Structure formats: C-alpha cells, structure tokens
Structure 1
C-alpha cells in the first residue's frame, strides 16, 4: 500500500501550527535591538530616552575575593516620559540572567553597551515602572572603569561613563536618582557605600550591609567600598557625621591627614554655604588609578597621595579640598551634559587654588598667569572649556584635560576680574543654592552671572568658553600666551 502524507489530527492543531509558522516569520522580520542615547555631545550613546529614573536598589553578593564575578540584583523605579515598546538601559561587562518589568517576565537582548528590554505590554507615558534585572557584576572587566581592584577588595570609579560596567542604569548625570545598596560579604569584610547605613544583618558567616543616599545622585558618583578596612568616625560642622574608610594597617599613618577634613569643610562653608549632603568621608584605597574621584559623600583617594614624601603638605591639602569642593560643584549641582564639565572642574580647581594660596603660600595670581600663558595651547589640544573635544577610543577619561582644570579656573578668574569680588562671591553662593540636588548648564551659569552683575555677560562667556583663542584678561593687559614647556598635570577629577 502506498504511503500517504499524515494529516493534522484536528482543525485546532492545524491552527496552532499555522500560528507558530506565522510567528516565526514575524520574529525573523523584527529589527534587531539597537543601542540608544540622549545625544550627549561627548558621549552620544550614553543615557536613554523615554523614562526618568527615580531610585536604584542594588544588591551585590561579594564572594570574598576580588577576582570573581558577583551575583547582583538591580531594581530600578522610574516613570515613563514617552510611550515605550522597548526600554533601553546602559549595561555592559555582565551576564543578565533575567528581567522583570512591573512583576512580569520580560524579553531582553544586548546591543552594543545597551540592555534592550521588551516588556509583555507596552508602557505608556506617565506610567510607573519597576525594572528588576538579575545579573552579574564583574570586577575582571574593569579596563574601562567601573570596579577597581584594591589590595584587599574593590572600590568603584565610574566617571565619566562607567557605572553601566557595574550595574544596569541610565548612565548619564542628567538623570539623577536615589540609591540604596545591599551588599552581602564575609563577616570579616568591611562594606561602606554612599550615604548613611540603614541596616546590618548577619546571615550565617556573612553580613548584609545596607546604605541609602538621602539626596539624588548621578550614576557616575556611586561608590561601594569592599575590603579589610577601618572605618573612623568624627564630627564636622553643625554635627555633620564624617566617616573615613582606610586600609586598617594605615590608620595611624593617615590620621594626620584625615583630621583636617572638618576644618576644610568649614572653610568651604564660609565661601559657598552649608555642606549639601547628610555625611562626608574620605575613602583611601590601595590602588593606582592615576586620579582622585569625588564619589558622593565618600571621596575616593589613592593611598599613594598621602604616603609619598615628594608631595608637599600644601599640595595634598589642596587636592583634598578640590575633591571636597565637588560636593557642591558637580555632585549637588551636576552637569546637564558632559560638555558642562568645566563647571565641575573649574570650580574645584578654583577653590583648590584659593586654599593653596591661603595655607600653602602659593599665589593665585601667579598660578592664573601661568594658566593664561598656556591656555591657547590647551584650547588647541582639547577644545575650549565649554566645548571640549571627545576622548579618543579606549580613553574614557580623556575629556579630563588641562583646559577643564586650570583652563576653566582661568575663566572664573577672568569673571571675578570682570564683575568684581563681591558680585562673584554672591554668584557662587546663589549657584549652589538655586540648583541644589539638581542639574544645570553653562547657559544657566551665564544667565545667573548676568543677573547678579546687572548687565549682559553673554559676550564675555561666548569668548571665554567657546573661543579658539583666549581673550585678553580683564585688568591684566600684560598677560600673554606662550607655548607650553611642561607636560600637563595628571587629572584630579
């Protein structure tokens, strides 16, 4: 008997098979997930449109050594600002195990350094979002920033665009949010993070340490320190709690530096107003990063800064003040775009130089005259202060050139010469007061300066912030530009 084709056993089965075939054709026709960005001039693929993050809750499980990936859970509370069929997060250097959106499992795929999530139901403008990502956080992939291995553990260095190498996020300073960290570690390991402790729970041979920031924070300022550290407590102005995190063996050696912090905070408060956060502290790490970093409420410093004899005391003091200043300029008032970074670094360098003048006998005018002499060459190499050139491939911190440090402090010096010391000091106080816990732009600074000066300063700022050549210095017609003879200093951040 000849064989005949088998037919589907029922009309229902035939319909299921046809639907499956159609679905496979549709799936094949769907476009591949694509990375997005908010169009930042320096990092065009950083950040994501369509939602506003309100809070991050990040859980990390540290295995006891800093060479193994950590299991992690990141929960993001956000609100949709547009209708979304897909939700993009910045995330790289980790493995994603699963994603939920509002309690329902969601599909996900990677596209370059984005995690592209497809929820079961489209999200509409104004709707609340809770995104939970189960993933790994890998300290072995820190070549572009993120986790930094120390001699006894880990710290974070996320500036400028490396937080998404640690946890999924909207990795741009324009989208600040509240942070909570829960870190499980062996009982002999010390964990400290941004903000204040909110819990410490023993689970067998491990302890879960929890911290919460009570002010919104940019992702680049997140910090978790994991290691065999001593935590030292002292009191700052107005009863401000200060906690320093240092290698336990170096506690006595570092104390002469650490005890200076309360007076440094008081010095800054006399110039720009009250310290803007709930706590402060110095985190000294056994790592060679090449920079110091103003992570919010817990500033990261290299151990070598404090123990190398070639660094004079006034220099180390002024670098400590540089990073402290960022808590007003950069942390509390964050840049709306990375091209506004001159507002961070110019101000931090300005107060660093003022402190060095007052306590180290290093004249501000001499430093600014030297900066003026080099300013044209800095602009040629890296662009003007408010329009810096993008960093080259593989140089994530390449935007931190001399033009955004002394070159930008020079702009502030010119502004003080232009409008007078009293108006300049009012501007500084108003700037950090009006934009506290928020973001601001170069245009905002120019507009506020014009209001306080009582005249239009847009021409002044256009020339000083965007010109290829450095304008004449008000009140110093004898200052001239020249070719640099020294290598630029290492970035402070």
Structure 2
C-alpha cells in the first residue's frame, strides 16, 4: 500500500489538523450524547397525572399573545413567553405542550433546539442554564381549537372561543408547566377582528384598534394555576357593576342575551357578601360570569371569570334555588381552589368539597320559608351523601386518594366522591369540633394559604391546631379509608355500596 505522506517534524498538515478536529468533535458529541439522555416526557410525580408538570424550574410569569382571525375552526397564531427561574442545572427544559405546531423556540434570547416527546416539548438551550439563573423561554407556535369539551382546552362557542383547561388541558392551548403546584402571573395579548370582544383573567389594561383589528391586554393581579386560565373571544357584551367594598364586577355574555340574563347577573354582589360573611374578603381584583353559548356539560371556576353554559340560565326546567347554588359553587372556588390551590390533584377534595359545602348551605338558606325548605336542608343532603358514600368510595376511591381517571377521559376524575362525598368530610369535622371552631378553621385556611398551594396534610394540621388536639386519626378515616367512618352525632346513619353509583358532572 502507498505510504502516507508525512509532514516535517513539528508541523501538522491542514488535512491532519482537520481530521484531528473532526475526531475531537465527534468524540465530544459522543460524550454529550452519553451524558444527556434522549428527550422524554417528564413530570413532577403527581400520583394521578405522572407526566404533568416539569422539574427543574419555577415559572414566575406567562405572557401569551394570541391572534384570532375570526374562524373558530382555524388555529390561532401565538407567542408564549415564560419567565422562570432554574432551580437545578438544566441542559434540557421540558414544557407541557400538545395540539399545536411549534415554529421557533428561544431561550434567554438565543435560538434553541426542540423536539416533541409525548405531550411534552423538550427544549435544549444553546448553553445549559445554571441553578438560580433566570430562564426566559419564548415559543412561537399555533394554538389549535380542534377538540371537544371532554378533552379540554379551547371550547368552540356559537360565536367564537372560550377556555376550559381543567384538569390537565392548558397545554393544549399554550406551552406551560401545566400543574397547579406552579402558579404564576399571567399577561394576555389578544388580537381579534374589531367587531369582536376579547376577555381574559384579571383586569383589562389596554385596548387598541388599528384598521380592522383590535388588540386587548389583560393582566392578573395574583398568581394563577394554568388550569384556571381563561380567554374568550366572541360577539359579547361586557356588563359592569360594583360589588362589596367597591369590587369591580364584569360579566361577559352573548350580546343578544344581555337583558334576559340580567336577573341572574345582578345576584352576584349579594352572593359575594354572603360568602365574605362566611370565609372572609374576596381574594381577587375582580369577578364576573362568562356565559358561553356552548354545550360543555359543566361550569368551571376559571380565575376571576367563571365559565357558565348559557343553558343554565335559559332552561326554565332549572329552579331558581338550583341555579343560585351553582353560581355560589363556582364563586366559592375563587377562595377554595383558585386562591388556595391544591398541591397535587389528589388534594382536589379540598376544592370541590368546600365548593359543594357552601353550595349546599346557600341552597338551604335560599329555600327557607318555601316548599323546598325541608328537601334542601344541609343535614338531609349530608345524610343522603352518607348513604351513598361507600359506593362512591368503591367506584372512585376515598376523597384524598382518588383513583386515576379513566384513560382518555380525564374529566372522569370529577366524580361524586369529590363533590358531596368530600363535603361530607367537612360535615363530620364540624360535628366533631363544633360550629365555632369549624368556622374559625375555614377563615384561617383561606387566610393562611392565600395565593399559594396547600394540601391535605396542611388541612389536617390546621384543623388540629384550631381544635386544640390531634385530629389526624379522626380525619384519616374520612380522607383515606375505603369504608366511610361513623358519623359523629348520627349513630343511626348507614352507608351502602350500590352496584353502580350514579355519576355527576354538572359543575367542577
């Protein structure tokens, strides 16, 4: 074979240097590939949604820009900016995102590689982000409104769009850390045809019109979980009024229904006063109802702007006390679930149990002196819940340890056991510690954990503090056992296990 030409001693040819450099690059690439695992979906270990949320960073704020062209079947153009802080060294950053096309990703201003992995978007910054460093991720993408209320995300209405992101569907709308444990501030910038109205959580900061389009700017005054985000675009009227302590109220309703809905809308100030009397000052900067002309099968407590089906108010088959109590249910969530947000989805009972509790108490008070009074007492409702409780636990698990939702049916998590089955825990606790201590506990709970996250252990600890004795053994059975414990003060109550307990899904 021919001899390989040699360079003079102490000198290296260009070709040899190039080959050596290529070898070093290849070796380095091999080392990097060995050190960094292949992109994969991650999660923060939620027992019900194991791949939801992402480790390694804390989101501080979202800035979401949406461009709606007037057709609610077409994807929206969007830019989502996430300001976060790294809590560990990050060579990759996982975001929850599905049902959209990603066009570009930048991390701290520099272009970044990205690849989908399951329902995650895996981003590789140009350089690793060290623990404690700021992390700004900007994603240019589309936001696809195709889907159904059952899958969550965008809901198509008769004249536009609204959002229903509970339990795990915000990432069908925008890239995010889609778990309630990571609350953040939100800014929404919505561009739409000028004849339409765009609304979002928080308060409107600005609106500008140029040519045929308007741009709306909204900001939240308090941190919010991704599942509570709300944007609505449509031919809507915004009805304003004042609530307790000068609280600005705004209701968003189909333009044609403004007058017919007014008798319901004007109830909100009184309902706010009623709840403030029970648990303390309303925790946010505004409130209102978003009435959507859509068939969702549920109502939803999106922060500062609760989502309601139009038919709840226009279907004359629903008695007034029932509609009122549903309104109070979603309003109560502003304290229980929105301000005090569950740390994991297994803590959902804290949201729904409390909202159901105040819904039932309101119905009891609202029907006093009427023919419905005897049927709407809290005790009668709780006895019925006790009778069904073992069946609910068998079907869905105990309140604080629910079974995972059925595959492909995430909203099946919202079972009877998390509604009346969880309100039953509060009834048992009140029976055990007395009304005065219970009411003090309720106020302390929303005060001590305002605008943060809290879980079942926190509630047990605070209940014990208020009662002046350890309640962990008493509450463990109510929260975690397969069978319902005896009800204090009602030794005659019995629970049965029906073959197939009825499901409920009118509200969340």
What are the equivalent positions in structure 2 for 1:4-153 lying under 5 Å apart? 10-11=15-16, 13-14=18-19, 18=23, 31-142=37-148, 144-153=151-160
Q: Determine the structure 1 residue equivalent to 2:318.
A: 311
Using the TM superposition, give the Cα deviation of residue 492 of structure 1 relative to its aligned residue in structure 2, in angstroms.
Answer: 1.1
Q: Determine the structure 1 residue equivalent to 2:170.
A: 163
Q: Determine the structure 1 residue equivalent to 2:382.
A: 368
CA–CA separation in structure 1 for the residues paired with 2:407 and 2:501? 25
SS in 2 for 1:481: coil
What are the equivalent positions in structure 2 for 1:71-470 lying under 5 Å apart? 71-142=77-148, 144-360=151-367, 361=373, 362-470=376-484
CA–CA separation in structure 2 for the residues paired with 1:329 and 1:128? 31
CA contact 2:41–2:51 (8 Å) conserved in 1: yes
CA–CA separation in structure 1 for the residues paired with 2:63 and 2:251? 24
CA–CA separation in structure 2 for the residues paired with 1:247 and 1:190? 10
SS in 1 for 2:61: strand
CA contact 1:51–1:78 (8 Å) conserved in 2: yes
1:479 maps onto 2:486 in alignment: no
CA contact 1:401–1:491 (8 Å) conserved in 2: no
Q: Determine the structure 2 residue equivalent to 1:3.
A: none
Using the TM superposition, give the Cα deviation of residue 482 of structure 1 relative to its aligned residue in structure 2, in angstroms.
Answer: 2.6
Using the TM superposition, give the Cα deviation of residue 83 of structure 1 relative to its aligned residue in structure 2, in angstroms.
Answer: 0.9
Q: Determine the structure 1 residue equivalent to 2:8.
A: none
SS in 2 for 1:140: coil
Q: Determine the structure 2 residue equivalent to 1:489.
A: 504
CA–CA separation in structure 2 for the residues paired with 1:28 and 1:414? 57
CA contact 1:100–1:131 (8 Å) conserved in 2: yes
Using the TM superposition, give the Cα deviation of residue 208 of structure 1 relative to its aligned residue in structure 2, in angstroms.
Answer: 0.6
Using the TM superposition, give the Cα deviation of residue 97 of structure 1 relative to its aligned residue in structure 2, in angstroms.
Answer: 0.6
User: Deviations for 1:401-441, whole angstroms, at most 9, x for unmatched residues?
Assistant: 00000000000000000000000000000000000000001
CA contact 1:93–1:141 (8 Å) conserved in 2: no
SS in 1 for 2:301: coil
SS in 2 for 1:53: strand
Using the TM superposition, give the Cα deviation of residue 140 of structure 1 relative to its aligned residue in structure 2, in angstroms.
Answer: 1.3
SS in 2 for 1:35: coil
Structure-2 change in CA distance of 1:125 and 1:21 (3 Å): closer
CA contact 1:53–1:175 (8 Å) conserved in 2: yes
CA–CA separation in structure 2 for the residues paired with 1:14 and 1:397? 58
CA–CA separation in structure 2 for the residues paired with 1:28 and 1:263? 62
Q: Determine the structure 1 residue equivalent to 2:10.
A: none
CA–CA separation in structure 2 for the residues paired with 1:10 and 1:468? 74
Q: Determine the structure 2 residue equivalent to 1:4.
A: none
CA–CA separation in structure 2 for the residues paired with 1:20 and 1:415? 66
Using the TM superposition, give the Cα deviation of residue 144 of structure 1 relative to its aligned residue in structure 2, in angstroms.
Answer: 1.6
CA–CA separation in structure 1 for the residues paired with 2:33 and 2:200? 45
Structure 1 residue ranges without an equivalent (≥5): 1-7
CA–CA separation in structure 1 for the residues paired with 2:22 and 2:131? 36
Using the TM superposition, give the Cα deviation of residue 392 of structure 1 relative to its aligned residue in structure 2, in angstroms.
Answer: 1.1
CA–CA separation in structure 2 for the residues paired with 1:462 and 1:102? 47
SS in 1 for 2:389: helix
- RMSD across aligned C-alpha pairs, in angstroms? 1.9
Q: Determine the structure 1 residue equivalent to 2:6.
A: none
SS in 2 for 1:443: helix
CA contact 2:89–2:129 (8 Å) conserved in 1: yes
Q: Determine the structure 2 residue equivalent to 1:5.
A: none
CA–CA separation in structure 1 for the residues paired with 2:129 and 2:387? 55
